[in-house]
Amino acid sequence: MINRKTAPAITDAVSFNLSLKPCERYVLDNKTPVYAIHAGAQDVVMVEWVFYAGNWYESKNIVAGTTNFLLKNGTQKRNAYSINEYFEFYGAYLNRSCYNETATITLHCLTKHLHELLPVVAEIITESIFPEEELAICKQNQKQRLQVNLKKCDFVANRLIDEYVFGFHHPYGKYTSTIDYDALQREELKAFHEQFYKNGTCMVFAAGKLPANLDQQLNQVFGKLPLNSQPLPDMQYPVVSAVEKKYRIMNDAEGVQGAIRLAQPFFNRHHPDFPKVQVLNNIFGGFFGSRLMSNIREDKGYTYGIHSYLQNHIHQSAWMISTEAGRDVCEATIAEVYHEMERLRNEPIGKEELDLVRNYMMGSLLGDLDGPFQIIGRWKTYILNGLDEQYFYKSIETIRTVSSDELQILAKQYLNPEHFYELVVV
């Protein structure tokens, strides 16, 4: 019998023996790869179709995002109301999202209803018609939302800092205007859908309590579609960063808060420094106990929160520091960020602080493996970035073994104020 008067032993997360559950892999008749994780106690399943149909592949601004948004707003057989009613009848949820390189269609449903829902997903992929009235409503709503957001300093700052780092004509740096929506034509959406969805490069990720014949169900519905029948266009975009490094933008003359963004171009996950820099970033500003939070929030009281992170891009990345602060303390906030960079360059990181971050990162990894949906999400990140499960284990080894001296060397190399673009929007 457990003695409730004795506290259980505390085990550091860094000593956990974490493992990444292998995913099952097979290929449909049309060469569409499927990655599956069979796990979980509940009779639910998630299936996600990932297309290389992000704004990386569009020839005109917002075509990719609008095409993805309107996928479930009408097919040759059903209107938007019928599609939504069908999925709601089965208690299912169908979502779609568009990113820089990829776009997704994601289905969550009860396992027993999957066979009823897969044909309608296939219908959306192959028969979406983008009705003119639905496009008109979308354009109107998006323009209104954009006009509201442009009054927000943080929204403007997020747009501009990416432009400074990557260049306006790079997919990571461009942003939308009301003119883009006015110029958007239905035929452009249909053509993009034809090339990048109906005949597009696609892969499927599935997780949950999967039916025993999932491969047969997917092959029967999707294996004969013209997916993966055409080569993906080789689109290359040079990074053209801005010449000037410092920007001060007046967006709201009566506002009391400013949005601060500091960013520099950085390497993607294939660079050997990336895993170690993730440790350095967490110490710097990557979690609630970071140096930026301790100094600028807890000590100075300039902000409710400040964060540092590496952007989640496939081709290139950027190291970003993001916060909002009172207009009168924006410059002081930036000075403190640079002060923390200087400390990391000049002072070794103490063992207690480094151990804290090691345990935080290992605990975060443990949380990311809590359930089949989280596990397949990690697999998806690795697969889309051209990595394998060894990256997971190498990252764990880096967290456990990277030294204070190594992190100080990286800080001297990367945490230099002159490398960062500096933006304040008030």
What's the CATH code of the domain at 375?
Answer: 3.30.830.10
pLDDT for res 405 = 97
Do the beta carbons of residue 145 and residue 69 sit within 8 Å?
Answer: no
Indicate the average pLDDT of the chain: 95
Report pLDDT digits (tens) over 121-135. 999 999 999 999 999
Q: Which of 165, 170, 164, 235 is nearest to 196 (CA)?
A: 235
Query: Model confidence at 7, in pLDDT bands (50, 70, 90)?
Result: confident
Report pLDDT digits (tens) over 49-83. 999 999 999 999 999 999 999 999 999 999 999 99
Using CA atoms, how far apart are residues 301 and 305, in angstroms rounded to an integer? 9
Query: Model confidence at 26, in pLDDT bands (50, 70, 90)?
Result: very high
Q: What share of the chain is helix, strand, coil (3-state, %, to 5)?
A: 45, 20, 35
> C-alpha angle 23/28/29, rounded to 5°?
160
pTM attached to this predicted model: 0.93
Query: Do 295 and 171 share a domain, yes or no?
Result: no
Using CA atoms, how far apart are residues 197 and 103, in angstroms rounded to an integer? 9
Two tokens at 344? 């990391």
Report pLDDT digits (tens) over 164-197. 999 999 999 999 999 999 999 999 999 999 999 9
pLDDT for res 154 = 96
Query: Model confidence at 15, in pLDDT bands (50, 70, 90)?
Result: confident
Report pLDDT digits (tens) over 331-387. 999 999 999 999 999 999 999 999 999 999 999 998 888 899 999 999 999 999 999
Q: What is the mean pLDDT of residues 109-123?
A: 97
Report pLDDT digits (tens) over 252-307. 988 899 999 999 999 999 999 999 999 999 999 999 999 999 999 999 999 999 99
pLDDT for res 299 = 96
Strand 421-425 versus strand 246-249 pairing type: parallel
Q: What is the mean pLDDT of residues 85-104?
A: 97
Q: Give the gyration radius of the chain's Cα atoms.
A: 24
Inside any domain, residue 2: no
Phi, psi of 94 (to 5 degrees): -115, 120
> Which of these three, 171, 206, 222, is where a domain ends?
222
Would you call 57 exposed, middle or buried from its count of C-beta atoms within 10 A (0-12, 13-18, 19+)?
buried
Query: Do 260 and 217 share a domain, yes or no?
Result: no
Please tell me whether residue 7 adopts helix, strand or coil conformation.
coil
Query: Do 193 and 277 share a domain, yes or no?
Result: no
Query: Do 157 and 290 share a domain, yes or no?
Result: no
Inside any domain, residue 135: yes
> Which of these three, 222, 237, 257, is where a domain ends?
222
> Which of these three, 207, 222, 237, is where a domain ends?
222
Query: Do 51 and 170 share a domain, yes or no?
Result: yes
pLDDT for res 386 = 95
* Count of structural domains within the chain: 2
pLDDT at 6 > cutoff 90: no
Q: What is the mean pLDDT of residues 90-95?
A: 97
Query: Do 272 and 367 share a domain, yes or no?
Result: yes
pLDDT at 102 > cutoff 80: yes
Q: What is the mean pLDDT of residues 144-158?
A: 96
Using CA atoms, how far apart are residues 197 and 67, in angstroms rounded to an integer? 10
Using CA atoms, how far apart are residues 40 and 44, in angstroms rounded to an integer? 8
Inside any domain, residue 394: yes
pLDDT for res 306 = 97
pLDDT for res 8 = 78
Query: Model confidence at 14, in pLDDT bands (50, 70, 90)?
Result: confident
Query: Do 290 and 415 share a domain, yes or no?
Result: yes
pLDDT at 9 > cutoff 90: no
% of the chain at pLDDT higher than 90: 92
Do the beta carbons of residue 320 and residue 286 sit within 8 Å?
Answer: no
Inside any domain, residue 409: yes
Query: Do 80 and 175 share a domain, yes or no?
Result: yes
Inside any domain, residue 10: no
Query: Do 189 and 286 share a domain, yes or no?
Result: no
CB burial of 351-366 (b: ≥16 within 10 Å; e: otherwise) equals eeebebbbbbbbeebe
- Give the H or E element holding residue 121: helix 114-127
Query: Do 254 and 208 share a domain, yes or no?
Result: no
**Which domain, by its residues, includes 107?**
24-222
Inside any domain, residue 88: yes
Query: Model confidence at 2, in pLDDT bands (50, 70, 90)?
Result: confident
Query: Do 218 and 250 share a domain, yes or no?
Result: no
Inside any domain, residue 94: yes
> C-alpha angle 248/310/270, rounded to 5°?
135
Q: What is the mean pLDDT of residues 116-145?
A: 97
Inside any domain, residue 11: no
Using CA atoms, how far apart are residues 418 and 329, in angstroms rounded to an integer? 21
Query: Do 53 and 197 share a domain, yes or no?
Result: yes
